[in-house]
Amino acid sequence: MFELIDAVLTSPAIASFPELSCAPVFHRQWPSVYEALKDGKLDSTELLGLEVKNLPPMSRPLLVGDHTASLRVQARTLDDRSFVHQPTLIKGQKPISIGHRYSTLGVVPPNGPNDPAVAGSWFLPLRPAKLAEQLKEVCPLLAEQSLERPLGLFDSEFGSGAFLELTADIDCDLLFRIKPNRKFYRAPGPYKGRGRYPVHGDVFRLSQNKTWHDADEQWECDDEKLGRVRIQRWDDLHFEDAPKHIITVFRVERLDARGTRRDPKVIWLGYCGKSKLPLHDPTWRQYLSRYVIEHWYRFIKQSLNWTLPQFSTPERSELWSNLMLIASWQLWLARTEAVDNPRR
């Protein structure tokens, strides 16, 4: 398994999985690349503790979680296959395929002035599993090394009341994107003395500005990445299926954007934390750090050949995915010992 990881890191362009056995660092015959994943074992709990121990110092850890798919359309006898989301460029075709879905939670390292190698899109993966389970296991370990509660950054798929319910008992603040067709409710009004106590107040639909009440705060600023930005903020809102979890909603309007899919003009964000945010708080901008996981997924697919092998069991695929985490950490730990020389 050690030689297999080294072969992955030193063989950037291969056409087949057994080709890793041709790497100079792999001293065994080609069947051993399969035997490593057939017979190999990995203590994921011990690995997680080792990863957290090697994290750089952070006052407030930024956790990023997302999922991706490994397509196995032709593997009819493979266990645990399901429908997965897969973007497509074909007009009219639904973005659906068949395969395995993998979720990953990791940390965004801080850009320190004393470590110029940190600059860029580094992402330190910690655990592949369901995100709520990962948060429950990772956050207590981070609390021992940081001064503030971690901040979790998630895409719009996790911007729901169901996800807030799953993570309610976890010591972590959440910042997530919200789909523009979602609706919220204000705090209920006073009890009128008849019937049950009210749970919801007036509705707040993101797509209908006539349902918006006056924002609790509004300001404009010039952002170095987003350009001119107007931010509106509403406090004390909640999802219909999670009335006990109060969130803050941000409407981030990019005044110079083109309004396309890749250059959206309006972005809705939600924040759920232990305490309310102060005035003009820049926490909303931390969401930009979430995109490092997109770069990491593309990197392990294109450069580390994560989706190249087609294993016969989910267990071997899971072990192979864990080796991708170890390979990413090796690159991080060697960042000051090697010079990046990308192809142009």
pLDDT digits (tens, 9 = 90+) for 8-30: 999 878 999 999 999 999 999 88
Region of 293 (left: φ > 0; alpha: ψ -120 to 50; beta: rest) is: alpha
pLDDT digits (tens, 9 = 90+) for 150-190: 999 999 999 999 999 999 999 999 999 999 999 999 998 88
Q: What is the pLDDT of residue 164?
A: 94
Q: What is the pLDDT of residue 257?
A: 86
What confidence tier does 117 reach under pLDDT thresholds 50, 70, 90? Answer: very low
Q: What is the pLDDT of residue 239?
A: 95
Residue whose tokens read 């395995």: 100
Q: What is the pLDDT of residue 113?
A: 45
Q: Which residue has the higher pLDDT, 52 or 190?
A: 52
Q: Which residue has the higher pLDDT, 118 or 133?
A: 133
Q: What is the pLDDT of residue 287?
A: 94
Q: How far apart are CA 269 and CA 41, in angstroms?
A: 40
Q: What is the pLDDT of residue 344?
A: 58
Q: What is the pLDDT of residue 119?
A: 58
Q: Which residue has the higher pLDDT, 230 or 80?
A: 230
Q: How far apart are CA 199 and CA 341, in angstroms?
A: 58
Retrieve residue 97's tokens.
Answer: 């395929």
Residue 268 has pLDDT above 60, yes or no: yes
Residue range 110-129: mean pLDDT, rounded: 70
Q: How far apart are CA 136 and CA 317, in angstroms?
A: 24
Kindly list the structural domains of the chain, giving each domain's residue range(s) and its CATH number in brackets, ordered by start: 1-40+303-344 (no CATH), 41-302 (3.90.350)
Region of 18 (left: φ > 0; alpha: ψ -120 to 50; beta: rest) is: alpha
Percent of the chain's residues with pLDDT above 70: 95
Q: What is the pLDDT of residue 146?
A: 77
Q: What is the pLDDT of residue 304?
A: 92
Give this prediction's pTM. 0.89
Strand partners, 217: 233
pLDDT digits (tens, 9 = 90+) for 236-254: 999 999 999 999 999 999 9
Residue 58 has pLDDT above 70, yes or no: yes
SS3 state at 98: strand
Residue 116 has pLDDT above 50, yes or no: no
Residue 74 has pLDDT above 90, yes or no: no
25-28 contacts at long range (C-beta below 8 A, 24 or more positions apart)? 27/3, 28/3
Q: What is the pLDDT of residue 258?
A: 86
pLDDT digits (tens, 9 = 90+) for 278-304: 888 889 999 999 999 999 999 999 999
Q: What is the pLDDT of residue 91?
A: 72
Residue 87 has pLDDT above 70, yes or no: yes
